[in-house]
Structure 1
Amino acid sequence: MAADASFQGASGGQPRNLDNPAFRVEDIHGMLDILPSFPGVDADHMGALGICGGGGYMLKATQTDKRAKAVATLSMFNSGIVRRDGFLSSAKDTTLQRLADSSAERAQEAAGGDIARSVGMESQDIPEETLKKMPTLYSEGYVYYGKTHRHPNSTFMYTLRSNLDLFTFDAAANMDLINQPLLMIAGSDADTLYMTKDAFAKATGTTNKELYLVNGATHIQTYWVPKYVKEISAKLVSFFNKNL
């Protein structure tokens, strides 16, 4: 089962584009509620896979939800710490100011004002020279999500009030609660690899765990480059066959 998160895409929820970790994690619990109702599904053999930001939320959900008997992530992205500290801790000096701004935005909305959102991917036109200076995650992500693989329901906008919840979210906190078999996959050249390594090191509750690096792959390339997708798919199939 795959689903759009609450407030996103084809799923319901107002205000649109709210990015609240509690709802994201609850969505996963809800999917595990629903899955056993489908014919042929064995509730004792359900696995969980999270990709990018979904990987962070999947880790958080399966720390407590033991209905997921095996857990895997691909290119895990820890949304909370990046929103709080900036990518590669580049915005730590503005954390409190950004929280103050988000608090003011929520107050404005409560008083009946417009909902403030970040700039959407579809409205951006980033010059080639600027892309070359950006972290690989963002330059390749701009092309993948904004151009070559863009979906009309995926805008990358989020409500600025979301920061009030995101800043205290850390997918790698309480990783010792995961006692299920764990596979964490990331590209060896991904500039997000530090997030996977951090969470993996903290997963002390299971001895059945593996950090698998896709040699030469960046974060975004693990999504679509055929040779990487083939390698990753084979690894996931083997992992779930063995542990489910």
Structure 2
Amino acid sequence: MKHTGLKATLMAAMVGLGAGEAGAADYRKNPFTLVYDGAITANQPGKVNIHPVTFTLNGLSISANVYTPANYDSTKHYPAVVVAHPNGGVKEQVAGLYAQRLAEQGYITITADAAYQGASGGLPRSVDKPSNRIEDIHGMADFITGYPGVDSARMGLLGICGGGGYSLAAAQTDKRFKSIATLSMFNSGRVRRNGYADSQLDSIQARLQQASKARAQEAAGGEVLYSGDANLTDEQIAKLPFDLYRQGYEYYWKTHAHPNSTFKYTTSSLLDLMRFDATDQIELIDKPLLMIAGSKADSLYMTEDAFAKAMGTSDKELFKLEGATHIETYWVPKYVNAAMEKLTAFFSRTL
């Protein structure tokens, strides 16, 4: 949904926002290009530190940030949490916020840009296939278990929005994760197939035809086609039927904008996305499961559906943040604090 030609304008608008409007930071003023409120600006002894790293996954360079707890000592043993970012998001946004907050609670955390997205490698850009996103999670686990001080027997997983759906899929088979949490889980396959709130059931076959033609065009060496790259005015955004999309534009375009973040994805990715569902085989998850979502989120139906189907574990909880919408769980302090309180207790008990 983001148009690259607007980036300069959006960044300028972002600087002009009042502090009370979003509690966000200008990525250009942060040495690590972090955009969330309270982000680390410098590594200081005795405090939570951030460590930009790269690693290779299936031949691609993956860009990640590792957060270490205050007074980190590489000779000691710490639990770890892998954090998977939302669709269209990057590690410098909400995933970084929760990774930093978890590090404040004593965890070594990692969040990485998805392959083909953000600062990670891969061409064409913005490929968004479930198999890649799931492999990204496995890859973060590979890397962080070898990080100095990490106790690989105490590793958890937190997936946010689309990263939540892919985390459910990854955790079905990757038993290195001892507990799994999701925040505002978004089942990417269901939405790409059925439309948001199942609003496009009558156009599934037509959209599959479009995706098939896009793949054929790519295979023939033609232009790569993209979906989700709409250029909307403020008036058009205000008329969107769902809170997630209206507030998502505000978050990703203005208050927490980052140049590596884009909602667009290759149209050919729909061939993979539309046959995926985060709840397929979800009964394979036999570890503790915490699912957090806003009580007013119009995406809540996806969390409730997945929670009901997660029959492989008896240790599960659905926690609703009273009054929160989907995007508000990303940055509104009272909702972030409430989510962190649940996450801290959950990972403390299970890791």
Mark yes or no: TM-score above 0.5.
Answer: yes
Determine the structure 1 residue equivalent to 2:343.
236
Q: Is the 8 Å Cα contact of residues 137 and 170 (structure 2) preserved in structure 1? A: yes
Q: Given the alignment of the two structures, is residue 182 of structure 1 paired with residue 325 of structure 2, yes or no?
A: no
| Residue 222 (structure 2) aligned to one of 99, 113, 116 | 113
| Residue 259 (structure 2) aligned to one of 152, 156, 171 | 152
Q: Secondary structure at the match of 2:276?
A: coil
TM-score by length of 2: 0.67
| 5+ residue gaps, structure 1 | none
Determine the structure 1 residue equivalent to 2:210.
101
Q: Secondary structure at the match of 2:265?
A: coil
- What is the alpha-carbon distance in structure 1 between the residues aligned to residue 148 and residue 240 of structure 2? 51
Q: Secondary structure at the match of 2:257?
A: coil
| 5+ residue gaps, structure 2 | 1-109
Percent identity reads: 59
Q: What is the CA distance between 1:31 and its match in structure 2? A: 1.2
- What is the alpha-carbon distance in structure 2 between the residues aligned to residue 119 and residue 217 of structure 1? 25
Q: Secondary structure at the match of 1:43?
A: strand
Amino acid at match of 1:223: Y
| Residue 66 (structure 1) aligned to one of 172, 175, 179 | 175
Q: What is the CA distance between 1:218 and its match in structure 2? A: 0.4
Alpha carbons of structure 1 residues 167 and 65: separation in structure 2 relative to 1, 3 Å: same
Which one has a larger percent strand, Structure 1 or Structure 2?
2
Q: CA offsets per residue over residues 193-215 of structure 1, 9 Å max, x none?
A: 00000000011111110000000
The count of residues paired between Structure 1 and Structure 2 equals 242
| Residue 194 (structure 1) aligned to one of 271, 291, 301 | 301
- What is the alpha-carbon distance in structure 1 between the residues aligned to residue 259 and residue 117 of structure 2? 12
Alpha carbons of structure 1 residues 101 and 125: separation in structure 2 relative to 1, 3 Å: closer
Q: Is the 8 Å Cα contact of residues 237 and 249 (structure 2) preserved in structure 1? A: no
- What is the alpha-carbon distance in structure 2 between the residues aligned to residue 9 and residue 145 of structure 1? 13
Amino acid at match of 2:115: S
Which one has a larger percent helix, Structure 1 or Structure 2?
1
Amino acid at match of 2:173: T
Amino acid at match of 1:63: Q
- What is the alpha-carbon distance in structure 1 between the residues aligned to residue 112 and residue 164 of structure 2? 14
Q: Secondary structure at the match of 2:313?
A: coil
Q: CA offsets per residue over residues 33-64 of structure 1, 9 Å max, x none?
A: 11111111011000000000000000000011
- What is the alpha-carbon distance in structure 1 between the residues aligned to residue 236 and residue 186 of structure 2? 26
Q: Is the 8 Å Cα contact of residues 184 and 303 (structure 2) preserved in structure 1? A: yes
- What is the alpha-carbon distance in structure 2 between the residues aligned to residue 223 and residue 31 of structure 1? 21
Q: Given the alignment of the two structures, is residue 128 of structure 1 paired with residue 235 of structure 2, yes or no?
A: yes
Amino acid at match of 2:146: S
Q: Secondary structure at the match of 2:226?
A: coil
Determine the structure 1 residue equivalent to 2:313.
206
Q: Is the 8 Å Cα contact of residues 189 and 277 (structure 2) preserved in structure 1? A: yes
Q: Given the alignment of the two structures, is residue 215 of structure 1 paired with residue 322 of structure 2, yes or no?
A: yes
Q: What is the CA distance between 1:127 and its match in structure 2? A: 3.0
Determine the structure 2 residue equivalent to 1:40.
149
Q: Given the alignment of the two structures, is residue 88 of structure 1 paired with residue 179 of structure 2, yes or no?
A: no
TM-score by length of 1: 0.96
| Residue 76 (structure 1) aligned to one of 179, 185, 190 | 185
Q: Which gives a bigger RCO, structure 1 or 2 (Cα 8 Å, sep 6+)?
A: 1
- Give runs of ≥4 in structure 1 deviating > 4 Å: none
Query: What is the RMSD of the two structures over their aligned residues, measured on CA atoms?
Result: 1.1
Q: Secondary structure at the match of 1:217?
A: coil
